[in-house]
Structure 1
Amino acid sequence: MSVKILAVDTATENCSVALLAGDKVYSRSEVAPRDHTKKILPMVDEVLKEADLALTDLDALAFGQGPGSFTGVRIGIGIAQGLGFGAELPMIGISTLKAMAQASYRVHGTEQVIAAIDARMSEVYLGQYQRLESGDWLAVVPECVIPPQEVNGLLDSSPLTWTTAGTGWDAYSEALSGLSLSLSKGDVLYPDAQDMVVLAKFELEQGNTVEAESASPVYLRDKVAWKKLPGRE
């Protein structure tokens, strides 16, 4: 049976959509930090038309659940929920950090990745991943938000060489320069929906889906985000 999954992501500066149909992936991606709401739905239309499919033909809808920009994560989930409600599709949340690990494998063939996104406020969103024989990823260090100067004490210090991914490495290059493990600089900066659909297939096979109304973000910094809302303390 040919699995068909649509993924959308606006959690970072990158705006992306991808459609997995059997063994083929149709994708659109653009770094457009201020135009997510304008670009995401036209991208959805484009990949569906290219694959000659409708939303109702799909098996599931995946979305970038964060961590990332508070506003960006909310935009992506809101759009995904709207699409999911309309087509009555089960939904699958995918970690942006894990998606960058998958992207690093796609681009570099690497199987050990440390992903770090600039979280502002002198912190990074970070996760350390090892690729499994199945093609899925083990979170050696689960995603977290942490000051860059504390990263060294958190990471698994195995003798393997780890490929870096994400904007956090350049944003805090000085603080992250003295890590006591072997690093290889990668050029994956942002998560992309074309990698999320690959990960979503694993989740769908395991039955890890939710209904549209239950789709939820991963902020890792809930209290700070809550305080920034108007009228909150």
Structure 2
Amino acid sequence: MKLLAIDTATEALSLALLDGEMLHTRHALMPRQHAEQVLPWIDQLLAEADIGREQLDAVAVGRGPGGFTGVRLGVSLAQGIAFGLDRPLFAESSLAALAGQAQASAGQRVLAAIDARMGELYLGAFKIDQAGLPRLIGEEWLAAVDQAELPAEGAWIGVGSGFAAAEGKLSQRWQAGLVRSDSDQYPSAAVIARLAAGRYRAGERPESALVEPAYLRNKVAQTLLERGQPLPRMPAGL
């Protein structure tokens, strides 16, 4: 199968193209450059694999949580590609895409934390399965850095920018329950591609290319207009 995966929910622009067992990737930190770079990167990945867009079997996207503009960009772009090609669109958690970066072994538990700004965190608890993929425990949630609690006792591996927020306060508060933490990791489209490919191979075919972004905040980022920020725009050339 051939599957394109996109995640633009955080400061990282992450793309992956799964071609059978071969995985082609692009991943880099580039705040505020996603809209300019995402389409050229997609074209580069497809050219590298010698695959035309019409040869794709499916598209996958990180649905968030993350920055409002980034989440909307990734979801809108993936919807446009999937709809234009009449291909299934798989939506995966950006926190799961982050948990998959924790270098954890099967059976270990991972706490993924993304800095949500304004003193808050996007959080998700995961357990690594036998295939090395993260599986959500319970539900993802939003919490203030000062109030976030470990979801359960025992050993956890922490990953994500949330562990650097507020001068690393989360790592300090959870020190007794953390085996280790890595605040330098961001959601990976390679993980999204593997999660979506598993669903595709299991016979799942989403009936609609419409994806509901996961913001977790009831009032999304205090609204962009209130904060004097421009609304997200689609990259030219879609």
Residue 129 of structure 1, aligned match among 122, 126, 129: 126
Q: In 2, distance between residues paired with 1:135 and 1:109?
A: 7
Q: Give 1:96-111 correspondences, 5 Å limit.
A: 96-105=94-103, 109=105, 111=108
In structure 2, the residue matched to 1:117 is: 114
One-letter amino acid of the structure 1 residue matched with residue 191 of structure 2 = D
Offset of residue 134 of structure 1: 4.4
Alignment of 1:50-129 (within 5 A): 50-105=48-103, 109=105, 111-129=108-126
CA apart distance, 1:188: 4.7
The structural deviation recorded for 1:182 is 3.2
1:182 to 143, 158, 178: 178
Aligned residue among 28, 31, 49 for 2:29: 31
| 1:222 Cα deviation after fit | 3.4
Query: How far, CA to CA, are the matches of 1:187 and 1:178 in structure 2?
Result: 15
* Length-normalised TM-score, structure 2: 0.85
The code of the aligned residue for 1:62 comes to A
| Structure 2 match to 1:163 | 157
d(CA) in 1 for partners of 2:26, 2:180: 28
Deviation at 1:156, TM superposition (A): 1.4
> Where does 1:137-156 land on structure 2 (aligned, <5 Å)?
137-152=134-149, 154-156=150-152
1:113-142 Cα distance to aligned partner (Å, 9 max, x none): 111000112110001111122444332242
8 Å contact from structure 1 (residues 14, 190) kept in 2:
yes
Q: 1:228 aligns with which of 218, 223, 229?
A: 223
Displacement of 1:23 after TM fit? 0.8
Change beyond 3 A, Cα 1:182–1:36: closer
CA contact (8 A) 1:9 1:63 kept: yes
Which 5+ residue runs of structure 1 have no aligned equivalent?
Answer: none
Question: How far off its partner does 1:97 sit?
Answer: 0.7
- Return the offset for 1:167: 0.4
Counterpart CA distance in 2 for 1:9 and 1:201 is 15
The 8 Å contact of residues 133 and 191 in structure 2, kept in 1 or not, is answered as: no
Counterpart in the other structure of 1:22:
20
AA partner of residue 214 (structure 2) = V
For these two proteins, the number of residue pairs brought into alignment is 223
CA shift, 1:38, in A, is 0.7
Counterpart in the other structure of 1:205:
201
Asked if structure 2 preserves the Cα contact closer than 8 Å seen for 1:67 and 1:219, the reply is yes
C-alpha contact 2:12 2:30 (8 A) present in aligned 1? yes
Amino acid at match of 1:126: L
- Alignment partners' CA distance in 1, 2:206 and 2:160: 27
